[in-house]
Amino acid sequence: MDIAILGYGVVGSGVAEVIRKNGRSIADRAGEQIRVRKILDIRDFPDSPDRELMTRDPGEIFGDPGIKIVVETIGGTGAAREFTIRALSAGKHVVTSNKELVAVHGPELLKLAADNGVSYLFEASVGGGIPIIRPLSQCLAANVINGITGILNGTTNYILTKMRRENCSFEEALKNAQQNGYAEADPTADVEGHDTCRKIAILSSIAFNEYVDCSRIHTEGISRITLADMLYAEAMDSVIKLIAVSRREGDRIFARVSPAVVSREHPLAGVEDVFNAIVVSGDAIGDAMFYGRGAGKLPTASAVVADVIDIVKHNERTKMVWQRRETDNMVPFGDSVTRCLVRAKARDRSEAAADIERLFGQVDHVRADIKGIDDELAFTTSRMTESSLAERIAALKQMKSVKEVVNVIRILEP
């Protein structure tokens, strides 16, 4: 079977490398040899072992009936979307690692694939090399999935791990992540949580069998997390992680991406560096955790090639369809319930403590001996709705006894 690769970046070149290196075992598994016939990219790669396969002309791929599968590793929603539509409309299967495209245009692309009798597969879009899309859509299909909780971004998990282990600031850890090739030159999508948001939207759409729109998911990143926050978390026998959660609530879906205080007893607390982990809760299976390298050239490429092998073996068409509900399917963020760690700088500690109790009722104070911080009160709230929390935080900011609310970090419930 001949395939084409669109985009010879980190993942695209990794796909060509995996096929070149593991060609024989891939052929054994697929039942026939898989060959890369063309690679589309506007850049020149004179030193690449794949240079003979390069083209800048998409017509050489879409007009070639011998190319049955197209791997899209361009990323984004511009050219990637246009080429995916072209490929599916021409009756070619498409395999991608492009989470943004799947999260934003998944319903239309899956329908187009189904209408054309081909597959649109995206195992590599979430969790890099961790098998999660297929387990969720096939192996766990007998379960009613009640919830998903995960660490879905390798870059931010690396940064948070580095900050804690090496007592460095967010900025220093980010710089280190960039030097080591983990974070992009523009790390916004990772550090502000957008990448995690797209991934939890994809997982939720599969788990709950209807489209979950990533633009409706409340998303916060880690750029405001400091070492002091981590030390308070430590005093709670916890760590801070960027956590994605989604669950059914009645006939609606709740999803959120935010930094969270995670108890050391929780299985996600021990997930370090670039590793990702996803806990899926099903009614029959209970909790199942998927763990592994969530980013990187070869882990992600291996997930792309696994989808290619699946198509070659089964030659099936996509059956998964994500319906957009006509009415709103999301729990309004303000109605969702949370508990938080709140840090407030006090002008007068005892007055501030009284004001906190008046506003929040009884709270648990968190005591941490942090160098240079002696004017703060840190406390954990009881469970309350996000709107109620926002009102109380706004009122706390107005108190004369309080100089500043330093940070508000959610606590991951077990």
| Residues known to be catalytic | 199
Is position 100 an interface residue for ligand HSE (rule: CB under 6 A)?
no
Q: Which is closer to ligand HSE, CB of 12 or CB of 282?
A: 12
d(CA 139, CA 122): 16
Stretch of residues binding ligand HSE (CB under 6 A), selected from 51-59, 147-155, 227-235, 357-365: 147-155
Q: Which residues inside 163-192 make contact with ligand HSE, applying CB under 6 A?
A: 190
Q: Give the H or E element holding residue 356.
A: helix 349-360
For residue 331, give the amino acid letter. Answer: V
Longest dimension (CA), the chain: 77
Least distance to ligand HSE, CB of residue 392, Å: 34
By the rule CB under 6 A, 214 interacts with ligand HSE: no
Whole-number minimum distance, CB 401 to ligand HSE, in Å?
Answer: 41
CB of 338 to ligand HSE, least distance (A): 25
Question: How would DSSP label each residue in 374-388?
Answer: -SEEEEE--SEEHHH
Q: Among the candidate windows 148-156, 280-288, 303-311, 340-348, which touches ligand HSE by CB under 6 A?
A: 148-156
Distance of CA 348 to CAs 116, 146, 341, 387, 408, Å? 69, 45, 20, 27, 20
Nearest to 120 by CA among 93, 89, 80: 93
Burial class (CB in 10 A: 0-12, 13-18, 19+), 384: middle
Which one, 5 or 406, has the nearer CB to ligand HSE?
Answer: 5
Residue 41 in the binding site for ligand HSE (CB under 6 A): no
Select from 258, 233, 281 the least CA-distant residue to 156. Answer: 258
* Residues numbered 250-309 forming contacts with ligand HSE, rule: CB under 6 A: 294-295
Q: Is 75 in the site for ligand HSE (CB under 6 A)?
A: no
Interface with ligand HSE (CB under 6 A), residue from 72, 195, 307, 310: 195
Site string for ligand HSE, 101-140 (x = CB under 6 A): ---------------------------x------------
267 and 152 in contact (C-beta within 8 Å)?
no
CB of 253 to ligand HSE, least distance (A): 22
For the purposes of burial, counting CB atoms within 10 Å of the CB of 16, is it exposed (0-12), middle (13-18) or buried (19 or more)? buried
Please, which residue, 10 or 359, has the CB nearer to ligand HSE?
Answer: 10
**Which residues of this chain interact with ligand HSE, rule CB under 6 A?**
128, 153-155, 190, 195, 294-295
